Structures are given as C-alpha cells and as structure tokens.
Amino acid sequence: MSQRVSGYERKPNEAYHTPHWVTRTLLPYIPEGVRVIWEPAAGTGQIAEVLREAGYRVITTDLERDFLDCIPLKCDAIITNPPYNLAVPFILRALTLVPFVVMLLRVDFDSAKTRAPLFDDRRFAGKIILRKRIKWFPGDSGPSDNHAWFVWDTRHVGPPNIAYAYPTKDGQDDRSAKASRRSKSREPAVGVRVRQQRLRRGVAQRRNADNDTMQEPRTRS
C-alpha cells in the first residue's frame, strides 16, 4: 500500500463508518436529476446503503480503485466520507468529475487558510451542520468532534449557505429499531422533519435551483 493511498491512518484503514442517520440528513439536499452516485471511499458501504434505500443507483469503490488515480466512473454525483488526510485531494478530484460533490468532514474544515480556494470556489454551495456528534465506534461515549456535509454544486449561485440537520432524538443507527419507534411515536423521518420545520417557519418556497441549491431541502417522492 503506497503512502499516498493509505496515508496517515487515525484508525486502521480509516475505519470510520458513517452511521445511517448521518446520511439520512443529506437526502433532502440531493438535487433533482441525480440518479447515479459514486461513493469512492465506501468502506463497508454505510453511506451507500442509505442512498440506495432512498432510490439512488450507487456505485461503491474503495482502496481497490484508488480514487485519486483511477479511470473515473460515469455518475451524476460523488458523495463520501473521505479519508481525512486525503480530503483535499479527494475534493479536488471529485470537482473535476461531476457537478455535485458532497463530503462529510469536520465542521471547521473550511476554516483553514490553506483550504480557502476550495471554499472560495463559486461551486461551494454550503454546509449542512450536524446538530449531533457522530459516535464512530460502539462505546465511544463522548465524541468530541462536530461534523458537517460540505456541498459543491455547479448550479449554485450566490454565497454559500448554512443548514442545520437534526437527527431523530436518539441519533441511533439501528434503522429497524428506529422505524419501529417512529411508527409507534408517529415521528417522521429526518428529511421529512427538516422540511416540516421549514414549512412551519414559513420559509418553504418553490425550489429554485438557479437561485439557491441549498435553501430548500427536498425529499424524493
């Protein structure tokens, strides 16, 4: 394994597998027209599972197809939680390949001066800040990092936007348990809740992709 492929590893093979609830918070922000998504650092496929469940065709690859040095696959969007030490090259490569790119990163990833060009880029549409910390491992009782989905979209116009994502109360990862709890409590899924909150606040307007791709979350019907 070359240094560039593996890089500095915080955990073996960057084994930070994204809990399902995290990906569910992104679903309302994936634009119409996206059908095929490439998850190029898929690990055990946690992100892909949720995207597939939402109806997308998802191609998953990992180290067997070094994202930074491979023949690109045909897709409409790239969505991943990249290896942290390779996040910048992952973003740069993804931006050369597709119009819609989303990366799960630490919430202050955009603060570093050296990364400014990524966020001054007019395609940077904004970030969706998770209002719950991610528990990466069982027994990880007090996670200290906050995360956000960072979104680049060629159709974005104007300054980047900030959105907040609120997971269901427990933020747990057991979908069947959650579904059963939800049906008992009649609590809607995250994407639906985001939309309902916005509707309640009276800010839901007809989605205008030319104006603002981050303002109006959508759900797939």
Tokens of 83: 């290896």
Q: Which is nearer to ligand SAM, 148 or 156 (CB)?
A: 148
Considering only residues 81, 168, 213, 215, which one is a binding residue for ligand SAM as defined by CB under 6 A? 81
List, as own/partner pairs, every contact residues 83-92 make where C-beta atoms lie below 8 angstroms and the sequence separation is at least 24, other chains included: 83/7, 83/9, 83/14, 83/41, 84/10, 84/14, 84/16, 85/7, 85/8, 85/9, 86/4, 86/7, 88/115, 88/118, 90/40, 90/41, 91/118, 91/150, 91/152, 92/118
Q: Does 60 bind ligand SAM (CB under 6 A)?
A: no
- In our burial notation (b when 16+ CB lie closer than 10 A, e otherwise), range 30-57 reads bbeebeebbbbbbbebbbbbbbeebebe
Considering only residues 26, 27, 30, 42, which one is a binding residue for ligand SAM as defined by CB under 6 A? 42
Considering only residues 63, 92, 129, 209, which one is a binding residue for ligand SAM as defined by CB under 6 A? 63
Q: Which is nearer to ligand SAM, 13 or 180 (CB)?
A: 13
Q: Does 67 bind ligand SAM (CB under 6 A)?
A: yes
Considering only residues 13, 180, 196, 219, which one is a binding residue for ligand SAM as defined by CB under 6 A? 13
Residues 86-145 binding ligand SAM (CB under 6 A) are 86
- Rounded to 5 degrees, φ, ψ at 94 are -60, -40
Q: Does 168 bind ligand SAM (CB under 6 A)?
A: no
Q: Does 46 bind ligand SAM (CB under 6 A)?
A: yes
Considering only residues 28, 31, 83, 167, which one is a binding residue for ligand SAM as defined by CB under 6 A? 83
Q: Does 31 bind ligand SAM (CB under 6 A)?
A: no
- Rounded to 5 degrees, φ, ψ at 86 are -115, 15
Q: Which is nearer to ligand SAM, 62 or 212 (CB)?
A: 62
Alpha-carbon distance 162 to 177, whole Å? Answer: 30
The least CB distance from residue 88 to ligand SAM, in Å, is: 12
What value, to the nearest 5°, has the Cα angle with vertex 10 and ends 115 and 8?
65
Binding site for ligand SAM (CB under 6 A): 5, 13-14, 16-18, 40-43, 46-47, 62-63, 66-68, 80-81, 83, 86
